Amino acid sequence: MIILCNPGNPTGRIYSAEELQELAQILETNPHLLLLADEAYADIVFDGLPFLSALQLSSVADQVILSSTFSKTYAMTGWRLGYVVAAPDLAATINLVHRSINGAINTFVQDAGMEALKIEETELEASARSYQARRDIVVECLTGVPGVSMLPPQGAFYAFPRIHSTLSSDAMTTRFAEAGVIVRSGSEFGPSGEGHIRISFATDVESLEEGLRRFVDVVRSLT
C-alpha cells in the first residue's frame, strides 16, 4: 500500500497532477497495490494552485482509498468525525474493522456534521484565504532569517522550516518551549524530518506574530 498525505502534513506541499498521474501508472502496473490518500487538508490550498484528488484517478478507482475528516475544513478537530471513500468490497472490510473498534460516532457530532455540510462554498473559500494570509505572515517573518530555509507552504496550515543548527530537532523543540513557543520536532515525522521544525499557523494573527517573534529570537541564539 502507498500512503499519500496530500496536501502534506507536515510539509504543506501539494502533489502535482503529473505526480499523481505517475502514481496512477504505478497502480495500473501493480493491480494488487492500493493507494491510501489522506486528503484532510484538501480545502486549504493556497495561491490558486490546482488540487487533484486521488478520487480523480479514474483508471485506478478500485485501488484508491480516500480518507478524510471534518477536522480541518470545518475546524472540528477533536470531534473525531471522518469518512472513507473506497470500492464496495474494500469499504465493507473497512466497515467491519471500524464498527468493531470505534462503533458509530455519537449522534450530537453527527448532527454537527450535518450542519457543517450546509456551510456555503464561499465561506470555506474565505476560510482558506484566511489561512493563506497567515501563511504569508509566516513566510514574511522567516524569510531572510539566517539559519532558516523553507519552501513556502502550498496548502494545509503548517510551515516546515529547516533550522541549520548543531542541535537535534527534539533539542530545538525544548529550547522553543522554554521561550514560550510550542512547535513540533521534525523527527517526529520520520528520519528525513530531522533538522526541521513544524510550525502550525492555525491560530489568530496576534498569537502567530508573537509566536514567530519568539521563534526567530530562539533561532538567532541557535545558529
Ligand X SMILES: Cc1ncc(COP(=O)(O)O)c(C=O)c1O
Q: Nearer to ligand X by C-beta: 78 or 88?
A: 78
Of residues 27, 35, 37, 40, which one binds ligand X by CB under 6 A?
Answer: 40
One-letter amino acid of 67: S
Smallest distance, Å, CB 209 to ligand X?
Answer: 23
Q: Nearer to ligand X by C-beta: 90 or 202?
A: 202
What residues numbered 71-100 form the site for ligand X, per CB under 6 A? Answer: 71, 77, 80, 82
Instruction: Mark residues 42-71: x for contact with ligand X by CB under 6 A, - for none.
Output: ---------------------------x-x
Q: Nearer to ligand X by C-beta: 80 or 99?
A: 80
Q: Nearer to ligand X by C-beta: 82 or 195?
A: 82
Total interface residues for ligand X by CB under 6 A: 9
What's the rounded Cα separation, in Å, for the pair 57 and 25? 10
Of residues 9, 132, 169, 173, which one binds ligand X by CB under 6 A?
Answer: 9
3-class state of residue 159 by DSSP: strand
Beta strands in the chain (DSSP E): 2-5, 35-38, 64-69, 82-85, 148-149, 158-159, 162-163, 184-185, 197-200
Which phi and psi angles does 100 have, rounded to 5°?
A: -80, -35
Smallest distance, Å, CB 168 to ligand X?
Answer: 23
Of residues 38, 86, 193, 218, which one binds ligand X by CB under 6 A?
Answer: 38
Q: Does 113 sit near ligand X (CB under 6 A)?
A: no
Q: Nearer to ligand X by C-beta: 7 or 165?
A: 7
The residue among 142, 137, 138, 152 whose CA lies nearest residue 7 is: 152
Smallest distance, Å, CB 71 to ligand X?
Answer: 3
Smallest distance, Å, CB 36 to ligand X?
Answer: 11
Smallest distance, Å, CB 146 to ligand X?
Answer: 30
159 touches 151 (CB < 8 A): no
Q: Where along the sequence are the contacts to ligand X (CB under 6 A)? A: 5, 9, 38, 40, 69, 71, 77, 80, 82
